[in-house]
Chain A
Amino acid sequence: MANELTGAQALVNALEDSGVDVMFGIPGGAILPAYDPIFDSKIRHILVRHEQGAGHAATGYAQVTGRVGVCVATSGPGATNLVTPIADAQMDSVPIVAITGQVPSAAIGTDAFQEADIRGITMPVTKHNYLITDPAQIPRAMAEAFYIASSGRPGPVLVDIAKDALQKMTIYNYPKKLNLLGYHPHAEPDAQAIREAASLIAQASKPIFYIGGGVIKANAAKELLQLAELVGAPVVTTLMARGAFPDSHSQHLGMPGMHGTVAAVTGLQKADLLITLGARFDDRVTGKLSTFAPDAKVIHADIDPAEIGKNRYADVPIIGDLGPTMRALIPALKAEYARNRADISQWWKQINSLRQRYPLGYSEPGDGSLSPQYVIERIGAITGPDGIYVAGVGQHQMWASQFVKFEKPRTWLNSGGLGTMGYAVPAAMGAKVGAPDTPVWAIDGDGCFQMTNQELVTCALNDIPIKVAVINNESLGMVRQWQALFYRERYSNTDLHSKRIPDFAKLAEAMGCVGLRCESKGDVDKIIKEANAINDAPVVVDFSVHRDAMVWPMVAAGTSNDDILIAKEMAPDWDSQEL
Chain B
Amino acid sequence: MAQHILSVLVENSPGVLARVASLFSRRGYNIHSLAVGPTESPEISRMTIVLNLEGHALDQVSAQLFKLVNVIGIQEMEGRNSHQRELLMVKVNSDPNNRPKVEAVIAKYRGAIVNQANSSLTIEAIGNSAEIAALLKELSSFGIKELVQSGLIALEIGDTTLAERTLQETGLASSSTHSQTEDYQN
Contacts and interface: CB of A to CB of B under 8 A. Distances in A.
Contacts of A579: none
Contact of A150 (B11, B14, B23, B183): B183
Say what secondary structure dominates the interface of chain A.
loop
Contact of B184 (A123, A147, A304): A147
B26 interface: yes
A9 to B, nearest CB: 19
Interface stretch (A179-187, A360-368, A535-543): A179-187
Interface string B1-28: 0000000001100110011001100100
B186 A178 contact: no
B72 interface: yes
Contacts, number: 86
A305 interface: yes
Given A124-B26, A147-B183, A182 B11 contact: yes
Contacts of A144: 184
A323 to B, nearest CB: 14
- How many of chain A's residues touch chain B, expressed as a range? 35 or more
A67 B70 CA distance: 24
Interface stretch (A306-314, A343-351, A478-486, A512-520): A306-314
A128 B26 contact: no
Interface in B54-109: 57, 59-60, 63-64, 66-73
Interface string A142-155: 01101110110000
Contacts of B186: 18-20, 67-68, 146, 150
A131 B14 contact: yes
Contacts of B57: 309
A289 B28 CA distance: 19
Given A123-B19, A305-B63, A306-B64, A179 B177 contact: yes
A305 B18 contact: no
A45 B185 CA distance: 19
Given A131-B14, A146-B184, A182 B72 contact: yes
A19 B185 contact: yes
A127 B185 contact: no
Given A19-B186, A176-B181, A178-B180, A131 B63 contact: no
Given A150-B184, A305-B63, A310-B60, A184 B171 contact: yes
Nearest to B68: A182
Given A123-B18, A308-B63, A309-B60, A182 B10 contact: yes
A17 B185 CA distance: 8
A355 interface: no
B172 interface: yes
Pick the most buried of B10, B11, B15, B23: most chain A CB atoms within 10 A of its CB. B15
Nearest to B167: A181
A131 B14 CA distance: 9
Nearest to A153: B67
B118 interface: no
Contacts of B119: none
3 closest A-B pairs by beta carbon, nearest first, are: A147-B184, A19-B186, A306-B63
Given A67-B186, A131-B15, A177-B181, 18 more contacts: A18-B184, A18-B185, A68-B186, A124-B26, A131-B14, A144-B184, A146-B185, A177-B177, A178-B184, A179-B180, A181-B44, A182-B68, A182-B73, A184-B172, A304-B67, A305-B63, A305-B67, A309-B59
